[in-house]
Amino acid sequence: MSYDVIVVGAGNAALCAALSAREDGSKVLVLERGPEHKRGGNSYFTDGAIRFAYHSLSDIRELMPELSDNEADQIVMPEYSTSDYYNDLMRVTGEKSTPQLASHLVNESYRTISWMKSHGVEFELNYSNQSFEKEGKYHFWGGLPVKTKNIGMGLMKTLFNRANELGVDIWYQSRAVELKTEEDRITGVVVEQNNEKIEVPATSVILACGSFEANKQMRAEQIGEEWEAAIVRGSEFNTGDGLDMALAIGAEKHGEWSGCHSIGTDYNAPKVGDFNKPGDIFKKHSYPLSIMLNKEGSRFVDEGADFRNYTYAKYGREILKQPGHAAYQIYDEQVRPMLRKEYNLEEATFYKADTLEELVDQLPVNKEAFLQTIHEYNAAVQEGYYNPTVKDGKGTTGLTPPKSNWALKIEQGPFYAFPVTCGITFAFGGLHVNRKGEVLNQSAEPISGLFAAGEMIGGIFYGNYPGGSGLMSGAVFGKTAGSSATRYVRNQQSSNISS
Ligand SMILES: Cc1cc2nc3c(=O)[nH]c(=O)nc-3n(C[C@H](O)[C@H](O)[C@H](O)COP(=O)(O)OP(=O)(O)OC[C@H]3O[C@@H](n4cnc5c(N)ncnc54)[C@H](O)[C@@H]3O)c2cc1C
């Protein structure tokens, strides 16, 4: 059997590509490496936060018509324009994001999210993480007010249902291992099923099978030796197959191959994402209210340098550099009730004791140095007004590193130690594509019939990324790749007829 379009992968980018190609009339096959109960890739594990540009609340209400006038009256929703989004992307990537790709992502974001809605994806407001209440109104901030209903699980369920409805074929436990070409043109994919290889002919292929975050060896080679030890927050299947296959037929690398997105996560979280426990439940993001010590009893970052949004991605990396790739977030009873909800989940692991000495006795650390650091920190805490909702400037003096905000003495038992390590979210290394989603070769020419979307695309994110852009990038470039592939297939068909 031959297909117009084969999509490799079955995450958000892949299914958006499949829907887009199918609605344009292509015959589409989706290949998923995992079994059906482990489908959906990293997209399945997300919180569903999705960033797009909008003018006002009425743009957002178009996506969630059930939002009542009464509820809308309680909401203050500042505009998040395409330039705001573009500027955020440039700022957090140190102006490195490829302008052509960044502007495509930003400019197509609203059109794409409306298109997702037209395929049945449901959205809701993210009150708990992205708004604060003031004088009876909910003020949204940060350009990320919306998430998909029932987070990543809900998103993926809807996309799979829709793909089935539209007649997209989906093969599970089908790992793409090689791209076939003739005269520099894609002709099919070699697929591994039950240890056997079969060749499936196709006019075009869209690679949407993630980067190499779940591949220990590639992490060590590309990002740095210590990355072998990182926990994989999402799918175990994103081991760089798509990148290898494309590079083998002359595609060009693009973007920051030595970079990735990572965070501080529970030390005892599963080593790769557990499909029975999706949702971002292992992250530990209240560290600005803590002090973090490594096993030698030293602090190593300014925990209160800034709000979590601006430090969490780089502090994961710092934890990885510590002995045993571990650190302990220390809290006392004063701040325990303020910690984010993931600290209260039954999956959260922690130590607790009535005194600091008893707490530290339970930890596999240099106990003397650990206690001394806590005492030195307590002695360095300055008086001042403590307020976790603003950068309160209540810091330490004479400490290296300092704690610049939210410094409270750790003095009221019981005391808590939450062990953390580094979890990799996704690698930034990818392929060079243009704004049509065509994969480029080393002469910057499109490889005929080859397209890519999602994490596979390099050059959009460097060092960091504005939260919620991973899903949006997958959707925008997935939709684009689907239509580009269909257009390519039609051109091929008409040139075959005329020749
Ligand atoms: C815990 C966690 C929380 C996150 N939260 C958010 C969030 O709230 N908002 C946001 O925007 N981003 C978030 N992200 C990032 C986001 O998940 C990714 O940026 C995005 O989902 C990537 O989509 P994708 O379709 O490119 O890849 P994926 O969704 O990972 O899909 C890749 C697919 O390819 C398949 N595959 C791999 N190799 C092969 C092969 N050889 N053959 C066939 N199939 C193959 C995989 O099984 C998988 O189905 C989060 C990530 C994690 C891990």
CA distance to 33, 197, 218, per residue, from 427 (Å): 19, 28, 10
SS3 content of the chain, % helix, strand, coil (to 5): 35, 25, 40
Q: Enter the DSSP assignment of 479.
A: H
Smallest CA separation from ligand 1 atom 21, residue: 43
Alpha carbons 419 and 350: distance in angstroms, whole number: 6
Alpha carbons 2 and 340: distance in angstroms, whole number: 51
CA-CA-CA-CA torsion sign (62, 50, 471, 273): negative
Q: Work out the percent of the chain whose per-residue pLDDT is above 70.
A: 100
Distance, CA 320 to ligand 1 centroid (Å)?
Answer: 22
Q: Is residue 4 in contact with ligand 1, taking CB distance under 6 Å?
A: no
Alpha carbons 158 and 249: distance in angstroms, whole number: 34
Alpha carbons 188 and 455: distance in angstroms, whole number: 22
Confidence of residue 313 (pLDDT cuts 50, 70, 90): confident
Flag whether pLDDT at 463 surpasses 80. Answer: yes
Q: Is residue 13 in contact with ligand 1, taking CB distance under 6 Å?
A: yes
Distance, CA 341 to ligand 1 centroid (Å)?
Answer: 24
Q: Is residue 34 in contact with ligand 1, taking CB distance under 6 Å?
A: yes
Distance, CA 318 to ligand 1 centroid (Å)?
Answer: 24
Flag whether pLDDT at 154 surpasses 70. Answer: yes
In 269-342, alpha helices (H): 308-320
For residues 111 and 60, the answer to whether their CB atoms sit within 8 Å is no
- Residue 451's pLDDT is 98
Instruction: Encode burial over 185-195: b for 16+ CB neighbours within 10 A, e otherwise.
Output: ebbbbebbeee
Q: Is residue 202 in contact with ligand 1, taking CB distance under 6 Å?
A: no
Q: Which atom of ligand 1 is nearest to the CA of 242?
A: 41
Cβ neighbours of residue 70 closer than 8 Å, sequence gap 6 or more: none
Rounded to an integer, the average pLDDT of 202-228 is 98
Rounded to an integer, the average pLDDT of 186-214 is 98
For residues 277 and 270, the answer to whether their CB atoms sit within 8 Å is yes
Ramachandran angles phi, psi of 119, nearest 5°: -95, 10
In 166-301, alpha helices (H): 216-222, 241-248
Alpha carbons 318 and 312: distance in angstroms, whole number: 10
Cβ neighbours of residue 428 closer than 8 Å, sequence gap 6 or more: 211, 255, 256, 257, 259, 260, 261, 458, 461, 462
Q: Which amino acid appears at position 211 of this protein?
A: S
Q: Is residue 280 in contact with ligand 1, taking CB distance under 6 Å?
A: yes
DSSP state string for 241-271? HHHHHHHHTTBPEES-TT-EEEEEEETTS-S
Flag whether pLDDT at 151 surpasses 90. Answer: yes
Q: Is residue 430 in contact with ligand 1, taking CB distance under 6 Å?
A: no
- Average pLDDT, whole number, for the chain? 96
Helix axes 12-23, 151-165, angle to 10 degrees: 30
Flag whether pLDDT at 23 surpasses 90. Answer: yes
CA distance to 14, 54, 379, 484, per residue, from 497 (Å): 30, 44, 82, 20
* CATH architecture for the domain at 3-54+88-121+149-213+428-498: 3-Layer(bba) Sandwich (3.50)
Cβ neighbours of residue 359 closer than 8 Å, sequence gap 6 or more: 330, 351, 352, 353, 415, 416, 417
For residues 58 and 79, the answer to whether their CB atoms sit within 8 Å is no
Flag whether pLDDT at 499 surpasses 70. Answer: no
For residues 294 and 323, the answer to whether their CB atoms sit within 8 Å is yes
Distance, CA 82 to ligand 1 centroid (Å)?
Answer: 25
Cβ neighbours of residue 295 closer than 8 Å, sequence gap 6 or more: 322, 323, 324, 326, 364, 365, 366
Distance, CA 496 to ligand 1 centroid (Å)?
Answer: 36
Smallest CA separation from ligand 1 atom 48, residue: 41
Rounded to an integer, the average pLDDT of 456-470 is 94
Tell me the domain boundaries of the chain. 3-54+88-121+149-213+428-498, 263-424
Pocket residue to mutate for ligand 1, from 33, 39, 42, most atoms within 8 A of Cβ: 42
Q: Enter the DSSP assignment of 335.
A: T
Q: Which atom of ligand 1 is nearest to the CA of 50?
A: 11
Distance, CA 392 to ligand 1 centroid (Å)?
Answer: 37
Q: Is residue 237 in contact with ligand 1, taking CB distance under 6 Å?
A: yes
Rounded to an integer, the average pLDDT of 135-152 is 93
Ramachandran angles phi, psi of 68, nearest 5°: -80, 165
Rounded to an integer, the average pLDDT of 472-481 is 98
Flag whether pLDDT at 497 surpasses 80. Answer: no
Q: Is residue 234 in contact with ligand 1, taking CB distance under 6 Å?
A: yes
Q: Is residue 208 in contact with ligand 1, taking CB distance under 6 Å?
A: yes
Per the structure block, which two tokens stand in for 377?
């920190």
Instruction: Encode burial over 140-155: b for 16+ CB neighbours within 10 A, e otherwise.
Output: bebbbbbbbeebbbbb
Instruction: Encode burial over 93-108: b for 16+ CB neighbours within 10 A, e otherwise.
Output: beebbbeebbbbbbbb
Encode pLDDT of 39-81 as tens digits: 999 999 999 999 999 999 999 999 999 999 999 999 999 999 9
Per the structure block, which two tokens stand in for 369?
């140095």
Cβ neighbours of residue 344 closer than 8 Å, sequence gap 6 or more: none
CA-CA-CA-CA torsion sign (127, 128, 131, 137): positive
Q: Fold for 263-424, please state it.
A: Flavocytochrome C3; Chain A, domain 1 (3.90.700)
Distance, CA 457 to ligand 1 centroid (Å)?
Answer: 12
Q: Which atom of ligand 1 is nearest to the CA of 470?
A: 19
- Residue 141's pLDDT is 83
Q: Is residue 46 in contact with ligand 1, taking CB distance under 6 Å?
A: yes
DSSP SS3 for 329: strand
Alpha carbons 186 and 250: distance in angstroms, whole number: 12
Q: Is residue 235 in contact with ligand 1, taking CB distance under 6 Å?
A: yes
Q: Which atom of ligand 1 is nearest to the CA of 454?
A: 26
Pocket residue to mutate for ligand 1, from 43, 105, 153, 213, most atoms within 8 A of Cβ: 43
Q: Hey, how many other C-beta atoms are within 10 angstroms of the C-beta on 58?
A: 10
- Residue 77's pLDDT is 95
Encode pLDDT of 235-279 as tens digits: 999 999 999 999 999 999 999 999 999 999 999 999 999 999 888
Helix axes 469-498, 109-118, angle to 10 degrees: 80
Rounded to an integer, the average pLDDT of 101-128 is 97
- Residue 34's pLDDT is 98
Q: Is residue 200 in contact with ligand 1, taking CB distance under 6 Å?
A: no
